[in-house]
Structure 1
């Protein structure tokens, strides 16, 4: 076990130490990034919205024309066994399926008899430290150079990796992706904007990954009477925003207080984001931790 991956991991029907897990160098996930993944947050050893995560996994598999190797109940069995074996109360369960390893390198799909590669493991779920959350973080904007099926959670993430690395090299926490003058999401997060007290959320399209945390934010806004508009957000609106947030299961609600070197709003986390963070914590403690 490493500090970040618990033993055992799951690989192709077996539970084994990470050091003993291996795949063929001809695996199409290695050669082409031909595979999908899913990440399920776990609170107090209870997987959050596992059905929704497995539904999204199925949608991505359908999108790349790869048959699901496991039934829903089998996936749940894998997830629960990994949770039980891991030492952490709060975890992040990673699932990955690739199109498997043929006996040659060929762009076309391998023969039907080639089995997919199925891999899963547990990591600790680490959220943003309070000191970072109190000040917010810096981000940059970059052109969105990804393909047009960003709604599919595929392992070929090189464009996201390069965008995130560009942010890191500039001392920033995230890169916000701009396509055709509209903000879509972050390299590894969803994005929300607040203007004049109204929460703005980009719509779910093929140009954005449909985040589970994104759904929770919309639900909490509706439950607490927070004015909300789900629509395209122009780059000018982003730069004139009173608040900008990045959201994910690990970031939760994290204010972006500097964008491309310019303060967002007052340059401090704003009141709408602070209220949403508290609503999220209440939801986590009353719902997420109770199954």
Structure 2
């Protein structure tokens, strides 16, 4: 099947990465045992245990007065990752925009199934807003990448339907939104090794859905019938990835409901390209564009 080509610089960088076409329980367990990449920050750090989940709060040093907060949800296909996965993305906003970052570590599939993951993330969001005074935060932005982008969309729908907490904006980075896995882009990136393939996507969704037959829109946000009343939304994806079509459709449906959405589909970008290779020119453009949008929505 013909498909969009990778950006040449990204293709060269990706050539050195060991790739697979499928996930197995054994491979997931191996990946889980690997530590998250190290990161550096001058921010103040505070860890919070909240029952089965964990949160870490990063505050800019010497912060004077309330600051906006980014509530971050990591990627990993619903089956991998922790609250420090891809943490360099929100920490970049902390440095450049002065935001507080709260990152959540939800339970993972297949040990946790159904609505557990999105419920965990919503619980962490509620805790964050309930403790806004002691955390020194004002407005809250929900953001996530890949599976975390799907969970971010899910808790934003929950917040709308349950009457809160109030969310100022949502940032959905190559979000995992549709368990049906039936788009053209899903078929295009199938049957050969990649960063995230159709087969891997099927594994992730099968792991999280378990025996669930009536899939709610909070779990698979593409199923949500009503996308009105959502906060300003940023969606970005690549042309050369599984989630391209479901992400474009989600933004289109927000527009159809009269909402505020900004969509960027980066030519030649594969799944998670700017998280994997932030130094690439296309990655730098994607990150800069997201940061500028967020700065506008936060009012400065």
Same fold (TM over 0.5): no
Which has the larger helix fraction?
2
Which has the larger strand fraction?
1
Return the TM-score normalized by structure 2: 0.25
Return the TM-score normalized by structure 1: 0.25
